[in-house]
Structures are given as C-alpha cells and as structure tokens.
Amino acid sequence: MSSVVVVGGGPVGLMLACELALNHVRPIVLERLTEIDRRPKAGAVTGRGAELLDRRGLTPPDAGAWPFTPRPVHPDSLLAKGKPGAGHFAGMFVLTGGPGTVMIPQQQLEADLAACAVELGVDLRRGHTLVDLDTVQGPDGRYELDADWIVGCDGGRSSVRKLAGFGFPGTDGISTGYQAVVELDDPEFHPHGWFRKEHGLLVHGPMPGRVMTLEFDGPPLHRDSEITREELQRSLRRLSGTQVQVTEVRAVTRFTDNARQADSYRRGRVLLAGDAAHVHSPWGGPGLRLGLCDAVNLGWKLAAVARGLAGADLLDTYTVERHPVAARALELQRASVALLSPGPHVSALRDVVSGLLDHEDANRWLTAAMGDLDLGPFCPDLSLDGGPRVGELQRTGRGLLLDLADDPGLRAVAEGWSDRVEVVTGRCEQVSDRALLVRPDGQIAWRSGDAEPLREQLTRWFGISHS
Ligand SMILES: Cc1cc2nc3c(=O)[nH]c(=O)nc-3n(C[C@H](O)[C@H](O)[C@H](O)COP(=O)(O)OP(=O)(O)OC[C@H]3O[C@@H](n4cnc5c(N)ncnc54)[C@H](O)[C@@H]3O)c2cc1C
C-alpha cells in the first residue's frame, strides 16, 4: 500500500480523508492550525455538494432552518424582488427547482468532518505545517515525510500548488468585500436584506450583527494585513450612507473576486483539490460545492491507485472530469461579479437577465449550472422496494451495484470487487434498467442495456478484481 498525505485539514482535506478511509486507505492529514478557524466563511453548501453530503449522511438534521427567527423581507431588498425560497445568481433570487441548499456554518461542517475522519482512523495532525514537499514543521520541530502521494487541499494560496510548480492562470480581482459579525452603536442602521448601492452591495442579516459589504475600487491593497475595525466601519458607512459605528468586531473576513484555476489537478505524485485548485468570489456559494465534489471524485480513485489495484491513469480522469466544472464556475462567478457592480448600465443588464430567467428553460439551465446539477448521468435518490434510498446506500463511500432484477449472474461478476462495490438487490419502479453501477460520487458508470459488459466497467473504475 502506498502512503497518502493530505495537506490541509479544512473542509475539502477532511472530506477527502474520509473518502480515502472509507475506501481502506488511512491518510495523514497535516493541518497548520491547532484549532478550527473561527473566521466567518461559508454558511451553506449548494447544489451537487449538498446532494453529496446527504449521500454520506453528513447533512445535519436542522440543515434547512435558521437557528433564529429571520426578519421579514424589506420591500426594497433584492430578496423582495425575487421568488420566495429561490436560489440566487448575482443577488437575483430567482433560481427555482434545484435541490435544497444545506445551511451549515463552515466551522460546524469542519468539526463534523474531523470527527468522522478521526473515527475512521485518519491520522489528523493539527499544528503541523508543510514547508517543503516532503518536510513538515511540527510542534516538536521539523521532520521528513516520504509520501507516495500528496494532495494539496491547503486553500487558495496553496503551498503545495506552488512547490509542485502548477500554473494558476486567471483574472485579478476588481472588488473588495468583508463578511463580519459585529456590534454596532445602532443595530437598526440599515434594514435587513441584500441591497445594491451607489458604490456596491450591502448585506445586513439574516442573523443579528452579520454584515457583508462589496465595493468596486479594486482588490485589497494588503491582503495579509490585519482587518481593522476602522476599515470595516468605513465600508459600512460608504455603502449605507450613515455614520454607523462599529463598536466591536466579533469575527471578520476580507475577500476579493480573483478567479484562477490550476492548469491541471495532477503533476506526478501531487494532486490538488478545493480552493488549492480554484479560487473565485464567494457569491452564490460555489467554493464548498466544488471542493467537496473534487474530494468525492478523487477519494475512491486515489484509494484504488494507492492500494495497487488501479493504474495511475485512473487519476487523470480526475482532472478530465473536474477541471471543466470549476472552469465553468469561474466564468459564472465573473459574470456574477459584473452583475453585482454598481451603476445604471448594470441595473439595465440585470433587468434583461432577470427577464430571461422568467423563461423556464433559461431558469432551469442556470439553476443546473449554478449547482453543477447537469454533470453526466447522476443517479437519482431512488428508493428500493419502498425501503432504503440510494442516498442511504451510498454512505459506505464505495461503488454500488443496484441489482434490480435479482440476477445471480450479475452478482457473481461483482463478487471480485466486493471490497470496493456494494451489491444491493431490490426492485425500483422508477427505473426500467435491470441493473445500475453507481460510482461513489453518484455518477452512473454502467446500465444493464449498455454494450460494454459490467466486468469492463468495474475494472475501468475500480481496478483489478481480487478473485
Ligand atoms: C466570506 C466568505 C464566504 C464564503 N461563503 C461560502 C458559502 O456560503 N458557500 C460555499 O460553498 N463557500 C463559501 N466560501 C468559500 C469557502 O469558504 C471555501 O471554498 C472553502 O473554505 C474551501 O475549503 P478548502 O478546504 O479547499 O480550503 P480552506 O478552507 O482554505 O482550508 C485549507 C486548510 O489548509 C491549511 N493549510 C494551509 N497551508 C498549509 C500548510 N502549508 N500545511 C498545513 N496546512 C495548511 C489551512 O490552515 C486551512 O485549514 C466563502 C468564503 C469566504 C471568504
């Protein structure tokens, strides 16, 4: 068995570690921080990311609900101009028909994933920083790690990406934004909701003290400088046109909209996933969706390779499948930032776009694109014999052969992959296929009517048979 080191114990690194462990490979996870980062980041996982969380049983029971009573929507806010319960594109709340968004603070997701990883036997090393591709600075000094495979899940400024020499082309940011939880001298300084303003965007709420600002005078001058109360206050004052005072900053992050993507997701023994592979603005919540789906696409493939069951060329399908998805998301994020910028010309363009989105086809297309819901044949959350759902059956993180016509021949073929593919026999009225082979990421790899035999597809995706 070859060794796997995951650099970065954020949501993507931890998700990948769980996926590897579910597939019999226990990686080392190096995480620079000794504790989970408390700065406010994601509050939700969207689209296919939300579906994949469900397929691993990671959706919290209260995922759709706010832990407080939200204020009524203010008539001038962008929410009031949208459709109730709809997802948004550039603050136009009109996207209907997607799967539910999972509302979960990033810190809670990271804590849940860390608990899951440790329970599965992952060696999670907090306070350990990768300083060179095989050198780690730990609490007791430097040590060498001779890993066969290294996966950089170390965020937007990834050291792994730089050390391994990946290209990271893209566009620079044109905006600076803040997300913060604050105490204000006047908590009612501005109505709750999303508002386009003369200089950008102001979001107040939904929880008390939460503010988000976006202004378009370029990216932050000093990205690493400490965020001061004064600079946040200046942004709030400019956008709100008030003299509001920030009396306390409980938590704050600064962000921009640079949009860049690694030229490949693999160079030899080094792979990238999550923000290490792609960065973009946070509007519409693509970050966790892309990153978690990267992890779920890569985990089982890397496990099969690390166990010597599949050739390294299986890993090339990771770049082939995931690179175009993030490339499209980056384009949508660029479009989204353009539509969030101020001015009458943009207002006119927003009216055109929202008019187009009144058409069902356009709305369906953008909903799918903003959630990555149109990627290949994704197995719906079918129910077998009115009993277990595919979503529940996929909690093992392995492949799934749905034997829907009680076919002993088929089961005999799959026997040789029993450590990687679960076989479940049952009936399902919703599909006419006699059998379906579902990959751990939910993609249908084979249907009973396909010309290629099952054995070939099992070998292609899961490696050699053990019998
Ligand atoms: C204001 C804001 C709001 C957002 N809102 C949303 C949202 O609603 N929905 C959404 O999906 N996304 C959102 N995002 C994006 C989301 O937060 C990121 O996409 C997500 O954090 C990416 O996860 P990651 O694991 O790839 O990287 P990170 O979360 O950055 O984790 C990387 C980890 O690697 C560690 N690390 C770095 N270097 C090293 C090293 N050399 N050695 C060891 N460890 C290292 C870091 O300490 C960190 O823990 C938001 C982001 C911001 C800034």
CATH topology match: 176-256 vs 390-462: no
Which residues sit with their C-beta closer than 6 Å to ligand 1? 7-13, 30-33, 37, 41-45, 106, 129-130, 153-155, 159, 179, 253, 255, 274-275, 282, 285, 287-289, 291
Q: How far is the CA of 153 from the centre of ligand 1 (A)?
A: 9
Domain ranges of the chain: 4-170+260-371, 176-256, 390-462
Residue 142: its pLDDT value, please? 98
Inter-residue contact 325 to 290 (CB < 8 Å): yes
Question: Which atom of ligand 1 has the smallest separation from the CA of 45?
Answer: 11
User: CA 386 to CA 272: how far, in whole Å?
Assistant: 40
Give the pLDDT band of residue 323 (cuts 50, 70, 90).
very high
Burial class (CB in 10 A: 0-12, 13-18, 19+), 24: middle
Q: pLDDT exceeding 90 applies to what percent of the chain?
A: 87
Least confident of 69-73, 133-137, 208-212, 246-250: 69-73
Name which residue leads in pLDDT, 269 or 451: 269
The number of the ligand 1 atom at minimal distance from the alpha carbon of 131 is 41
Q: Helix H segments across 241-284?
A: none
**pLDDT-derived band at 449, boundaries 50, 70, 90:** confident
The CATH fold assigned to 4-170+260-371 is: FAD/NAD(P)-binding domain (3.50.50)
Task: Compute the distance from residue 71 Cα to the ligand 1 centre, in Å.
Answer: 29
- What atom in ligand 1 is closest to the CA of residue 158? 38
Q: Is 412 exposed, middle or buried (0-12, 13-18, 19+ CB in 10 A)?
A: exposed
Ligand 1 centre distance from Cα of residue 10 (Å): 6
Average pLDDT, the chain: 95
Task: Tell me the fold of 390-462.
Answer: Glutaredoxin (3.40.30)
CB contact at 8 A, 25 and 4: yes
The second-level CATH assignment, the architecture, of 176-256 is 2-Layer Sandwich (3.30)
Q: What is the pLDDT of residue 66?
A: 65
| Ligand 1 nearest atom to the CA of residue 288, by list position | 11
Where does the pLDDT of residue 65 fall: very low under 50, low under 70, confident under 90, or very high at 90 and above? Answer: low
Q: How far is the CA of 115 from the centre of ligand 1 (A)?
A: 18
Q: With 80 as the cut, is the pLDDT of residue 390 above it?
A: yes
Q: What is the mean pLDDT of residues 322-331?
A: 98
Instruction: Please tell me the distance between residue 386's alpha carbon and the centre of ligand 1 in angstroms.
Output: 39
pLDDT at 67: 63
- pLDDT 10s digits, 241-276: 999 999 999 999 999 999 999 999 999 999 999 999
**Low-confidence winner among 6-10, 85-89, 201-205, 345-349 (lowest mean pLDDT):** 85-89
Between 79 and 100, the more confident residue is: 79
pLDDT at 207: 86
Report the alpha-carbon distance of residue 334 to residue 260 in Å, rounded. Answer: 11
Cα(409)–Cα(178) distance, integer angstroms: 59
pLDDT confidence bin for 376, thresholds 50/70/90: confident
